[in-house]
């Protein structure tokens, strides 16, 4: 079993490499964000004192399920700032989705809606508790936003869901947003 501090450090580096900078580990992602697991493992083992079992444990025990390991390939499930096509299919969302953010962001969001910024998509959750977990990782007070996903979808907006259950949208225009009761 890997030490918690090392596990956190390795997990963060895995996210960094698979979402933002594969070159930091001497890797190249394919068009859909995949890299051979053997090459990924070799890169991690040259940097950290970890075994294959440790890496697989990090992947399997990640509470956010950030990584997908399929057919001896690995990739991040979402959150990329580099050009990848996750080959996600548009699907009908639940009627309501949620987004947790810092309260200081609310005035701008209230004017402009949610934007993907440097990422490929806006990240949404299908329950308040998950949005709250995300929001509490931000600095200061937070707000949980309610997204009228049913109306958005009916008016032509596309939604996707990643392998780890994170709902994704290109943006969320302001008319579909409202502060969730009790979070302001």
CATH number at residue 12: 1.10.10.970
Whether residues 120 and 65 share a domain: the answer is no
Mean pLDDT for all residues in the chain:
89
Per-residue pLDDT at 181: 53
pLDDT tens, 85-143?
777 889 999 999 999 998 999 999 999 999 987 777 898 999 999 899 888 887 788 99
Total structural domains within the chain: 2
Number of residues that make up the chain = 184
Share of the chain above pLDDT 90, in %: 65
Per-residue pLDDT at 18: 95
Per-residue pLDDT at 184: 43
Please state, in angstroms and rounded to a whole number, the distance separating the CA atoms of residues 27 and 94: 37
- The answer to the question of residue 86 being in a domain is no
User: What range does the domain containing 36 cover?
Assistant: 4-76
Please give the average per-residue pLDDT across 63-72, as a whole number.
Answer: 87
73-76, strands of its sheet edge to edge: 35-36, 73-76, 67-70
Query: In the predicted model, is pLDDT for residue 61 greater than 90?
Result: no
């Amino acid at each position: 079993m890997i030490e918690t501090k090392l596990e956190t450090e390795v997990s963060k580096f895995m996210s960094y490499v698979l979402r933002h900078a594969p070159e930091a580990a001497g890797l190249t992602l394919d068009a859909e964000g995949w890299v051979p697991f053997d090459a990924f493992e070799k890169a991690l083992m040259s940097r950290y004192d970890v075994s294959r079992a440790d890496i697989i444990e990090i992947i399997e025990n990640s509470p956010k399920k950030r990584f997908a390991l399929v057919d001896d390939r690995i990739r991040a499930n979402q959150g990329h700032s580099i050009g990848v096509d996750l080959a996600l299919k548009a699907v009908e969302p639940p009627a309501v989705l949620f987004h947790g953010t810092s309260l200081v962001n609310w005035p701008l969001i209230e004017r402009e809606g949610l934007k993907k910024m440097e990422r490929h998509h806006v990240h949404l959750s299908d329950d308040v508790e998950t949005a709250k977990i995300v929001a509490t990782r931000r600095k200061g007070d937070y707000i949980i936003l309610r997204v009228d996903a049913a109306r958005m979808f009916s008016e032509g907006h596309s939604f996707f869901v990643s392998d780890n259950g994170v709902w994704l949208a290109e943006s969320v225009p302001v008319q579909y947003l409202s502060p969730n009761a009790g979070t302001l």
